[in-house]
A = this chain, B = another copy of it.
Amino acid sequence: MRIAILLYDRFTALDAIGPYEVLSRLPGAELEFVAAERGEVRTDNGMLTLIAERSIAEVPRADVLLVPGGPGEVAARAGGPVLDWVRSLHETTTWTTSVCTGSLILAAAGVLEGRRATSHWLALEQLAALGAEPVSERVVFDGKIVTAAGVSAGIDMALQLAASVAGERVAQAIQLGVEYDPQPPFDAGSPSKAPAEIVQLLRGHSRFEAQLT
């Protein structure tokens, strides 16, 4: 099973690496990081560089496409070869997936027209403006399209996808392998649970970066 994870300048690392860590453990997984051109791609905060080992031209097809989010999504969905590639790949994928604001890229590629989808909680209105039907859920399946909420939600999405692809037993073995028994120290991971002042803080701040300087 070929899995293509799109990288682009200023993507958010965990959006891509959470699902990578789960999906790469699927039996027979051939997982590749793909960008407009081969080579170095820098994350949103400039503190990390990953290598895209394939260019979009080299990957005309994949069974699973995963599009991460991050502040760079604005440029990525402005148009151009990457957006064309997403649109074209989607035609033959078995699963087309996104994490966080990666769904805005899918929407801009025309893939989410009228489809139920999710995104980072701060981006749901924008998702609606781009033609999708936004849903405040952590993981949303609509046919072959699977979208996850913000950043860390890609791990939950990938485990659900693993179960769909390879069965519950395999997904559970992967979950145990990565010891995913989450114990967050606070119950503050969604706007419905976090203290109101924290929600306001993030709403007022430059989106998705959450730098509390």
Contacts and interface: CB of A to CB of B under 8 A. Distances in A.
A139 interface: yes
A96 interface: no
A68 to B, nearest CB: 12
A191 B173 CA distance: 10
B120 A179 contact: yes
A114 B194 CA distance: 38
A72 B32 CA distance: 21
Contact of A201 (B17, B40, B173, B194): B173
A157 to B, nearest CB: 9
A163 B189 contact: no
Contact of A156 (B28, B182, B197): B182
Nearest to A26: B212
